[in-house]
Amino acid sequence: MTHKVTLIPGDGIGPEVIQATVRILEATGVKFEWESFAAGAEAFEKYKEYIPKELNDSIERTRVGLKGPVTTPIGGGFSSINVELRKRFELFANFRPIRNLPHIPTRYPGVDLIVVRENTEGLYSGIEHEVVPGVVESLKIITEKASTRVSRFAFEYARKNKRKKIHSIHKANIMKLSDGLFLRCSRTVSKEYPEITYGEHIVDNTCMQLVMNPYQYDILLMENLYGDILSDLCAGLVGGLGLVPGANFGHECAIFEAVHGSAPDIAGKNIANPTAVLRSALLMLRHLGETDAALKIRSAIDEVYRDRSKLTRDVGGTAGTSEFADAIIQAMETQSTAVAASDQP
Ligand code: ATP
């Protein structure tokens, strides 16, 4: 079977890490038909649209996307393409598993956390205006509908995957109405899942707790902005942004993308670590039912990190993005040969 997937290479380090990932995915033997599109500033130059209609139609058709980061201009310019895609396709749950890779030494070994971030509203609704010169207003939108559906996603995931605890993260002592509503919704949903321990922590305290003892958490559920910030913090616990994968799930479609942004400081130099996008692609393979290919890549990642000679700089190596990808492909080939050899009579 051939899987049709919408591919958004993005910009900055996006094209490099996506190209490396696509090469590895194709080396598994799974068949893909990629529908590749630009988005953001690059798309605007060509199509006068930040999200071209062709891209939009492709996602509606394939319902699965693999995406690199797209730069959002700071302090002006067009609104975030990442946020717009999540809103447009109602990809309401952002799912970010935070786990150590074997053989990467970090301050905290054995972390196993999941960040579930509401993806469609909060302060990322982008409703801002200047009230009078020198005074601006930015609206934080929290709805019962979005808070309930993302809470349900987190609890369903916990139930299916035998996770034990969910903490809803908030600042409802200050934002009594907005974060108060988010909390009420997660609390209500929690009652339907008595086997899962439910707790509530204030976001600033959570930051400290995560740095002091990340092991106390299991699943962290939160609105958009807290999810963005805590995801980067959690990435730091397990070796950095080059490693942590992500997925955006809706009822109809899913788009898989790393937690990191376009990292302009290292773009175009063949030094970015493609592991985060590659691990996002593993989530995609599982979503597509291609579990064997996912396992194959996963053990190749383990092998390359164990060997250490082809790692990128962010994790203490000297290899380039493409050399790392070559090493993963080589490790997959060695595995296949080993399996074939062990099948010999
Ligand atoms: P955004 O807010 O757009 O999501 P971010 O805050 O996640 O962006 P990044 O653009 O990802 O920020 O970059 C933060 C830093 O992390 C960069 O300076 C870069 O050096 C490092 N970094 C990010 N991704 C990678 C990667 N794949 N490989 C190596 N280093 C990375």
Residues 208-229 pLDDT 10s? 999 999 999 999 999 999 999 9
Q: What is the pLDDT of residue 341?
A: 64
Tell whether 121 and 38 lie within a shared domain. no
Between the CA of 241 and the centroid of ligand 1 the distance, in Å, is 6
Q: Residues of the chain with pLDDT > 90: what percent?
A: 86
Nearest to 307 by CA among 296, 292, 319: 319
Residue finishing a domain among 237, 269, 285: 237
Task: Indicate which residue's Cα is closest to atom 15 of ligand 1.
Answer: 263
Q: What pLDDT band is residue 277 in, cutting at 50, 70 and 90?
A: very high
Closest to 298 in 3D by CA, of 306, 15, 18: 306
Question: 244 and 233 in one domain?
Answer: no
Cα-to-centroid distance, 334 and ligand 1 (Å) = 32
Residue 102 lies in a domain: no
50 and 162 in a single domain? The answer is no
- From the CA of 314, give the closest atom in ligand 1: 29
Atom of ligand 1 nearest to the CA of 273: 28
**What number does the ligand 1 atom closest to the CA of 313 have?**
29
Is residue 316 situated within a structural domain?
A: yes
Does the pLDDT at position 25 exceed 60?
A: yes
Q: State yes or no: pLDDT of 285 exceeds 60.
A: yes
Residue ranges lining ligand 1, Cβ < 6 Å: 13, 17, 232, 241-242, 260-263, 265-266, 272-273, 276, 314
CA 252 to chain centroid: 18
In a domain? residue 309:
yes
Of 39, 158, 55, 48, nearest to 97 by C-alpha is 158
Do 93 and 23 share a structural domain?
A: yes
Q: Last residue of some domain: 169, 203, 237?
A: 237
User: Looking at the structure, do residues 62 and 164 belong to the same domain, yes or no?
Assistant: no
**Is the whole-model pTM more than 0.85?**
yes
Please tell me the total count of domains within the chain.
2
Domain of residue 271, residue span: 1-97+239-345
266 CA closest ligand 1 atom index = 20
Same domain, 129 and 205: yes
Same domain for 229 and 111: yes
**In a shared domain, residues 203 and 249:** no
The CATH number covering residue 197 comes to 3.40.718.10
- CA 263–ligand 1 middle distance (angstroms): 4
CA of 277 to the centre of ligand 1 (A): 12
Same domain, 76 and 134: no
Strands (E) across the chain are located at 2-8, 31-36, 64-67, 93-99, 112-118, 122-132, 135-141, 165-170, 197-202, 219-222, 247-249, 254-257
pLDDT band at 72 (very low <50, low <70, confident <90, very high): confident
- Looking at this protein, which amino acid is placed at residue 12? G
Write down the pLDDT at residue 176: 97
Residue to mutate, 241, 259, 273, 323, ligand 1, most ligand atoms under 8 Å from C-beta: 241
Where does a domain end: 237, 270, 293? 237
Sign of CA dihedral 235, 291, 217, 181: positive
> Are 228 and 249 within one domain?
no
Q: Is residue 31 part of a domain?
A: yes
Phi, psi (5° rounding) for residue 226?
-60, -35
**Ligand 1 atom at minimal distance to the Cα of residue 265:** 18
Same domain, 250 and 345: yes
CA of 234 to the centre of ligand 1 (A): 14
Instruction: Check residue 41 and give its pLDDT.
Output: 87
Residues 249 and 219 in one domain: no
CA of 342 from ligand 1 middle (Å) equals 42
